[in-house]
Amino acid sequence: EEPIEHEGQLSRLEIKPYNEQLSVVVPRIPRGCSPESARRVQTELLETLVETEGLRDYVLWYYTPMALPIARGLSPCAVVYDCMDQLSAFHGAPPELTLLERQLFDQADVVMAGGYSLCRAKQKIRSDVHLFPSSVDLPHFSSARVPQPDPVDQKDIPHPRLGFFGVIDERMDVSLLAAVAALRPDWHIVVLGPVVKIDPAALPRAANIHYLGQKSYAELPQYIAGWDVAILPFARNESTRFISPTKTPEYLAAGCPVVSTSIADVVEPYARLKLVHIADSPADFVLQVERALAQDPVQRRAEADVFLAGNSWDATFSKMAGLVDVATRSTRRPRSIRPEMPSADRKALAVRQAR
């Protein structure tokens, strides 16, 4: 996991066994470490972990290129890059991220992308990128289709309810949210999730907008069961250009009609298959919510279920595991990962930082 700063001078690894086959490891580093010191400490902790655990035949699986420098000196059987987002487009992205990703593309045996538009973009860099769009835990989210008591903090909110769950950050179109609430004061918007990287004071406030905070994964179906429409009010900007919202199939599995802005990976395939309503302006968004409310729920759910039937995480895991298995068998011997930045890249980075 990401490192956590703590008071004190010593660095250590906090190892939490989850079950017999999985442990979660969290680096604890002294507060105030410089980025370079933090990387050096994590490198030492990771190498110590590999040695003390007696790891020999292991795979390095990256979700971010920023982890590449801390694996210096390790000798994996294979390297996997599971690219879930265009991280360089996010607000505050480190300037070295693009350069590190280029190195990771060169070193990875398997590269996977978590969405259609993201995959197409990455295939311009490397042609053998594998597409793995968002899957869904059908049993978990379909439990929202069963009538059940509302959670305490939602039970007194009037209907119709428009619901959203997820991280609330620069990807959310707060102006759209405010305008829809103003156009239809009789509708109530329920927002679940933490506020990250934006000022909470910048969020629209109205009597019919309800921020209920972050909820656990286990709690989500109970909240969705009380929604009339699920919404994806994403802004259309650089940070959303390549996103593939996992919540789209989760909303559908929960039996909710869905209204979204024109995010590429929602338009294709969901809107094309008429599983999701698309609107960008406040007036159109209101119109599409009205159409969603008027839909026949039995027919809508049946059509969604046809699409979702082959979209389980188990199926996704099987395909991913097959790719990794081929990579580990085709690699004759462990190889060192060398994320040192080439001189040309160091020069390019220095120029970017100077600007």
pLDDT level of residue 342 (50, 70, 90 thresholds): very low
Average the pLDDT over 37-55 and give the result: 94
Question: First and final CA of the chain: distance in angstroms?
Answer: 32
pLDDT at 27 over 80: yes
For residue 110, pLDDT beyond 90: yes
d(C-alpha 283, C-alpha 277), whole Å: 13
pLDDT in tens, 176-219: 999 999 999 999 999 999 999 899 999 999 999 999 999 999 99
For the chain, the average pLDDT equals 91
Question: Mean pLDDT throughout 92-119?
Answer: 91
Position 87 scores a pLDDT of 77
Q: Residue 37: pLDDT above 50?
A: yes
Whole-number pLDDT of residue 354? 39
Q: How sure is the predictor about 335, in pLDDT bands with cuts at 50, 70 and 90? A: low
User: Taking residues 66-84, what's their average pLDDT?
Assistant: 93
In sequence order, which ranges of the chain are alpha helices (DSSP H)? 35-52, 97-107, 116-123, 138-142, 174-183, 220-224, 247-253, 264-266, 282-294, 297-308, 313-330, 343-354
Output the pLDDT for position 197.
87
Confidence of residue 9 (pLDDT cuts 50, 70, 90): confident
At residue 32's C-alpha, the angle toward residues 30 and 37, to 5°, is: 70
Whether 74 and 50 have beta carbons less than 8 Å apart is answered as yes
Mean pLDDT of 22-48: 94
Q: Ramachandran region of residue 267, left (φ > 0), alpha (ψ -120 to 50) or beta?
A: alpha
pTM: 0.81
Residue 109: pLDDT above 50? Answer: yes
Per-residue pLDDT, 353 = 38
3-class secondary-structure state, position 9: coil
Mean pLDDT confidence for 272-277: 97
d(CA 14, CA 23): 10
Measured CA to CA, the distance from residue 168 to residue 190 in angstroms comes to 12
Query: C-alpha distances in angstroms, 57 versus 25, 45, 52, 73, 194?
Result: 19, 19, 14, 15, 38
- Per-residue model confidence (pLDDT) at position 247: 96
Q: Which two tokens stand for residue 10?
A: 């010593």
Per-residue pLDDT reduced to its tens digit, 131-173? 999 899 999 999 999 999 999 999 999 999 999 999 999 999 9
pLDDT at 167: 96
**Percent of the chain residues past pLDDT 90, beyond the cut:** 82
- Look at 71-80, 266-275, 335-344 and tell me which has the smallest mean pLDDT: 335-344
Q: How many CB atoms lie within 10 A of CB 316?
A: 16
Alpha-carbon span 32 to 94, nearest angstrom: 18
Q: What pLDDT does 350 receive?
A: 41
Between 350 and 281, the higher pLDDT residue: 281
Whether the CA torsion 169, 173, 179, 182 is positive or negative: it is negative
**Placement of tokens 């929960």 in the chain:** 254
CA-based R_g, the chain, Å = 22
Q: Are 257 and 189 in contact (CB under 8 A)?
A: no
Query: What pLDDT was estimated at residue 336?
Result: 57
Q: Is the peptide bond between 160 and the residue preceding it cis, with omega within 30 degrees of 0?
A: yes
Per-residue confidence (pLDDT) for residue 89, from 0 to 100: 72
Of residues 241 and 92, more confidence is placed in 241
Q: Coil, helix or strand for 108?
A: coil
Q: Which of 72, 77, 39 is nearest to 58 (CA)?
A: 77
Residues 129, 123: contact at Cβ < 8 Å?
Answer: yes
pLDDT at 73: 83
Q: Are 220 and 141 in contact (CB under 8 A)?
A: yes
Q: What is the DSSP string of 46-90?
A: HHHHHHHTT--S-EEEES-GGGGGGGTT---SEEEEEE-S-GGGS
Task: Give me the mean pLDDT over the 63-81 stretch.
Answer: 93
Number of DSSP helices (H) and strands (E) in the chain, helices first: 12, 13
Q: What is the pLDDT of residue 28?
A: 95
pLDDT, mean of residues 217-241 = 96
